[in-house]
Structure 1
Amino acid sequence: MVQYGEGSRRTGATRRIYHSLLNQIEAGVYGVGDALPSSRSLAEELGVSRTTVTAAFDQLVSEGYVRVQQGRKACVASAGRVSQIAPPDCSAIPARRLSAYATRAMALPPNSTAGRPPLKFDFRYGDIAAEDFPKAPWRKALNTAFLRHRDRLGYDDPAGSRSLREALQGYVWRSRGISCDLGQIIVVNGSQQALDLCARVLVNPGDGVVVEDPCYAMARNVMHAVGANIVAVPCGAHGIDTTRLPEVSDIAVAYVTPSHQFPLGGVLPAAHRQALMEWSMAANAYVIEDDYDSEYRYDVSPIPPLYLSGQGRVIYVGTVSKTLSPTLRLGYIILPHPLVEAFIECKRIADRHTSTFEQEALAALIETGAYERHVRRMRRLNAERRAVFLASMASAFVDHIEIVGTTAGLHVVVWFNTISCRQEARFADIARSHDIGIYPIARLFSSPSDERAGYIFGYASMSVDQLAKGVERLHRAYLGFIGEGGPPGGQGSDNGKISTVV
């Protein structure tokens, strides 16, 4: 019920009068058409102001129980609550069919851990340690954005605030060597919206879409949802195998992670990059470059983005989810000129624009240098985490594992030599029962590619102490899983095998 009155006392009296009159109407004390006491007489009888009684009458009128006519007393218009009316039987009415898009989306395998109870040692990739977030600089930047004088509050440019696009224009030049016009940059709600826009703008049902195998599941899913024909191209130690690209007919786009293949960690060599671009030109297809964690290179120099040799065929996707937080939902696309207008209009239809206040806060962080200082700090912290995690795994599991993709990013892939791929999900369940989160890699492949069980381990969300303890607990769970006797061959002093795929 809507509450009236200037204070809690008047509000309480209004509520009591409302319920009293409603109960009497429902009980039949006042039937339909019967006149109710006047507001003046009720006020005198109850010892309250007439305003209080009038407020109760107004609520009954607004809900349709009472009718008021000028010059006459209020009378009862309806005798029962809407909630007391039996709902119609809808079982015989056929449900309206879902759209083809919704049907395809609903058929996709579940890909989220949202809503699950938190784990003490969770190696989920994509999570960032809460204590790493630059709370004070972000709060200052956000407060400045909130307090900045505006003549009005209205819908903003779907391409993004000019201040953030200008800041990003400078940032991608400094960090990735990308030179682009301001108009080529569109701010999006994370890289996932960037991929969704690519699918909606460039892909029709039945079109071919090339993806890596294995592939980031949410990229593949967004293409499935629009009805694309997925063409999975195997990845080797150095990323996508360009010798196995499909025939050029009916291919709309290719989705790749050339600077750090997800999840295996390979880097696409120059010759393969050239081959990919030649293929895209022949196929008249665009290439989506997801540069999701380019800020994190440890043992090698930064890898130039594919965009630099893209000949106007590359759509570059960047995000701050791996540097600031995935909760912010801030990302950006750099587009070839012919695509800009279409992307802007589809972004406008999707959500008008990304949150302006958060865009301005991020712009301020970049403009003042605070963002890049934070990135350097994050690189140091995660290099420490990476070193502790790799050392702990090598010490605990010795030669019973192989780790790949260790030179960059915020995750690695661990292959367990003593666990078969058929036992992959089972061991993940056992680990969860020990309060440990590990995530099978099989779901990222179009078909099984290795007889061993493999898992993606993210290490950016825990402290170095937690990482070491988490590995120790995982090793205990592992010993129990493979048998009381321990791994074949027993413990030894040799280091575990670690592949530095770059």
Structure 2
Amino acid sequence: MVQLQQDGVARRIIAAIKAQIHSGAYRPGDRLPSSRAFAAEWGASRTTVTAAYNQLNAEGYLIIRQGARAIVAPGLERASGEAPITAAQPRSLSAFARRLLALPPPVEQQPAKVADFRYGDLSGADFPVLAWRRASTKAILQRAARLRYGDPQGSSVLRNALQAYLWRARGISCTPDRIVIVNGSQQGLDLCARLLLDPGDPFVIENPGYLLARHAFVAAGGVAVPVAVDADGLSTDALPPARLAYVTPSHQFPLGGVLSATRRRSLLAWAKATGATIVEDDYDGEYRHDIAPIPPLQTLDAESVIYVGTFSKTLSPTLRLGYLVVPPGLCRAFSEAKRLTDRHAPLLEQDVLADLLTSGAYERHVRSIRRKNAERRQVLLRALTDHLGSRVTVAGADTGLHVVAWMNGIAAEREPAIIAAARAAGIGLYPVSPLYDPSEPRPGTAGFVLGYAGLDTEALRRGIAVLAPIFAEHR
């Protein structure tokens, strides 16, 4: 403890002397007080002051000679008219950085106390702790004799296990060398943006749609071409030429529509005709409630579609593991881009996940949480009906882990006031309007995205019960 205190005093002495030199109070050739005098002035030990002087000597700020007082080193004088150095001066930023900073920042809020309906959260109680711990222990004990960087596309063991799982669960036929393991689907989208778009290139994106996908493509220099969606997903009647189209065909985010068979064929034909690449984000494909599983677009055209998957909606968003299934001609580009970005995803977590997939533990877990989230969904829908009745229209309830609640009779401009009132009552509520392209008209009715996978059934009931009178006040 004493040593830590001395180190702290020495750091403060060093910082104070540097500040005096930078400000011009001490100039080259000036002598500093003796270590004894400085120690008395600061109330520090002489040993501490001597250590600080020696550090400044090593950094070139002071010159120390035996038997003489320390002097300020030459070359540190301030130029005439130069302002004192107080902080690092801003550097010029790249075009990418300027585009990035021009995007609206996310609104971060602390979790609400009564019920937080933020989409993307999962219940901590649902995580398969025992299965993960067993697989983790096994992976640690089987560590290689030599620790080294791995394949940028991901562990071959995991890619083999994932290839088999995708065939069983989603009907995707691919070889392991076409799978790229990424740090969450967001990194996958960022790689797609960097590899498929040049500045000025147009990209088609659903309106409304996933905001961070739009931001990834805009930051890369792409120009958004928003296309409206309805109950049948993306409207494909008059798609413009573009380099890329980002879609969520199995469960449109956020409105929940499923891309119809006719529109699927139309979208794929458009991609073939224009040479565009389709980025298919199957972010919650494991959750089907009242409908049969929808085959991915990738199963219809493996050459035009990049399939994006994630474990954030089944295991945990904190795990940061996702994957891409890319066309054969793009494998090397994605592999090299991943290598430059971060070498590869964490190998221990990949080994653990591979064990869960091969042992069947992952699919058992998915079946379990599918039942739990189906129950949560039923409780939420029942609560909305009981407390709001015809005053609410629910969209997107057949699949996924959220619904959109349109509040009939409440204007969209009332959303901020409703959100503030809900937050004051301990409810986290999130509007759908920011998910619309800012250049396009937005709905006139207030709408909210209600995620339910992070809440227990009692919190869902209480949350809607608290919200009902707040909505009534704003009709």
**TM (normalized to structure 1)?**
0.81
Report which stretch shifted further, 304-313 or 314-323.
304-313
Q: Match for 1:238 among 228, 232, 238? A: 232
Q: Match for 1:131 among 112, 125, 129? A: 125
Please report how far the alpha carbon of residue 342 of structure 1 lies from its aligned counterpart in structure 2 after TM superposition. 0.8
Please report how far the alpha carbon of residue 204 of structure 1 lies from its aligned counterpart in structure 2 after TM superposition. 0.6
Q: Match for 1:443 among 434, 441, 445? A: 434
Question: Which residue of structure 2 aligns with residue 104 of structure 1?
Answer: 99
- On the 8 A contact 2:208/2:253 being kept in 1, the answer is yes
Question: Which residue of structure 2 aligns with residue 464 of structure 1?
Answer: 457
Give the Cα separation in 2 of the matches to 1:14 and 1:230: 54
Report which stretch shifted further, 359-368 or 377-386.
359-368
Question: Which residue of structure 1 aligns with residue 278 of structure 2?
Answer: 287
Q: Match for 1:302 among 293, 310, 314? A: 293
Give the Cα separation in 2 of the matches to 1:186 and 1:98: 31
Question: Which residue of structure 2 aligns with residue 359 of structure 1?
Answer: 350
SS at match of 1:287: strand
SS at match of 2:174: coil
Question: Which residue of structure 2 aligns with residue 492 of structure 1?
Answer: none
Give the Cα separation in 2 of the matches to 1:33 and 1:395: 79
- On the 8 A contact 2:111/2:428 being kept in 1, the answer is no
Please report how far the alpha carbon of residue 453 of structure 1 lies from its aligned counterpart in structure 2 after TM superposition. 1.0
Please report how far the alpha carbon of residue 206 of structure 1 lies from its aligned counterpart in structure 2 after TM superposition. 0.9
Please report how far the alpha carbon of residue 434 of structure 1 lies from its aligned counterpart in structure 2 after TM superposition. 1.5
Please report how far the alpha carbon of residue 393 of structure 1 lies from its aligned counterpart in structure 2 after TM superposition. 0.4
Please report how far the alpha carbon of residue 61 of structure 1 lies from its aligned counterpart in structure 2 after TM superposition. 5.9
Does residue 226 (structure 1) correspond to residue 217 (structure 2)? The answer is no
Please report how far the alpha carbon of residue 425 of structure 1 lies from its aligned counterpart in structure 2 after TM superposition. 2.7
Please report how far the alpha carbon of residue 460 of structure 1 lies from its aligned counterpart in structure 2 after TM superposition. 0.5
Question: Which residue of structure 1 aligns with residue 206 of structure 2?
Answer: 212
Give the Cα separation in 1 of the matches to 2:407 and 2:15: 69
Change (3 A) 1:17 1:203: closer
Q: CA offsets, 1:427-451, max 9 Å, x none?
A: 2222222111111111112223432
Q: Which amino acid aligns with 2:459?
A: Q
Question: Which residue of structure 2 aligns with residue 46 of structure 1?
Answer: none
Please report how far the alpha carbon of residue 125 of structure 1 lies from its aligned counterpart in structure 2 after TM superposition. 0.5
Give the Cα separation in 1 of the matches to 2:388 and 2:15: 72
Please report how far the alpha carbon of residue 34 of structure 1 lies from its aligned counterpart in structure 2 after TM superposition. 10
Please report how far the alpha carbon of residue 148 of structure 1 lies from its aligned counterpart in structure 2 after TM superposition. 2.6
Change (3 A) 1:236 1:200: same
The 5-angstrom pairing of residues 145-156 of structure 1 reads: 145-156=139-150
Q: Which amino acid aligns with 2:121?
A: D
Give the Cα separation in 1 of the matches to 2:112 and 2:95: 35
- On the 8 A contact 1:434/1:477 being kept in 2, the answer is no
Q: Match for 2:257 among 246, 266, 284? A: 266
Please report how far the alpha carbon of residue 253 of structure 1 lies from its aligned counterpart in structure 2 after TM superposition. 0.6
Give the Cα separation in 1 of the matches to 2:11 and 2:100: 47
Change (3 A) 1:54 1:452: closer
Query: What is the root-mean-square deviation in Å for CA atoms of aligned residues?
Result: 3.6
Give the Cα separation in 1 of the matches to 2:371 and 2:11: 64
Report which stretch shifted further, 95-104 or 360-369.
95-104
Question: Which residue of structure 1 aligns with residue 360 of structure 2?
Answer: 369
Change (3 A) 1:311 1:164: closer
Does residue 418 (structure 1) correspond to residue 409 (structure 2)? The answer is yes
- On the 8 A contact 2:208/2:254 being kept in 1, the answer is yes
Change (3 A) 1:161 1:34: same
Q: CA offsets, 1:110-154, max 9 Å, x none?
A: 3x3435354431101111111111122222322333333323323
- On the 8 A contact 1:66/1:74 being kept in 2, the answer is no
Give the Cα separation in 2 of the matches to 1:219 and 1:21: 46
Does residue 477 (structure 1) correspond to residue 470 (structure 2)? The answer is yes
- On the 8 A contact 2:112/2:428 being kept in 1, the answer is no
SS at match of 2:203: strand
Does residue 388 (structure 1) correspond to residue 382 (structure 2)? The answer is no
- On the 8 A contact 2:277/2:304 being kept in 1, the answer is yes
Please report how far the alpha carbon of residue 311 of structure 1 lies from its aligned counterpart in structure 2 after TM superposition. 4.5
Question: Which residue of structure 1 aligns with residue 158 of structure 2?
Answer: 164
- On the 8 A contact 1:442/1:448 being kept in 2, the answer is no
Report which stretch shifted further, 94-103 or 341-350.
94-103
Does residue 432 (structure 1) correspond to residue 423 (structure 2)? The answer is yes
Report which stretch shifted further, 173-182 or 146-155.
146-155
Give the Cα separation in 2 of the matches to 1:10 and 1:270: 71
Q: CA offsets, 1:74-133, max 9 Å, x none?
A: 974659xx9xxxx944699985432222222212223x3435354431101111111111
Q: CA offsets, 1:45-96, max 9 Å, x none?
A: xxxxx9x999899767656688788xx77974659xx9xxxx9446999854
Report which stretch shifted further, 429-438 or 180-189.
429-438
Size of the aligned set, in residue pairs, is 453
- On the 8 A contact 2:414/2:474 being kept in 1, the answer is no
Does residue 325 (structure 1) correspond to residue 316 (structure 2)? The answer is yes
Please report how far the alpha carbon of residue 334 of structure 1 lies from its aligned counterpart in structure 2 after TM superposition. 0.3
Change (3 A) 1:419 1:93: same
Q: What is the aligned-residue identity percentage?
A: 45
- On the 8 A contact 1:187/1:332 being kept in 2, the answer is yes
Q: Match for 1:340 among 331, 336, 359? A: 331
- On the 8 A contact 2:112/2:427 being kept in 1, the answer is no
Change (3 A) 1:55 1:469: same
Change (3 A) 1:67 1:303: same
Change (3 A) 1:266 1:93: closer
Report the structure number with the largest CA radius of gyration. Answer: 1
Q: CA offsets, 1:241-266, max 9 Å, x none?
A: 111312x3xx1110011111111111
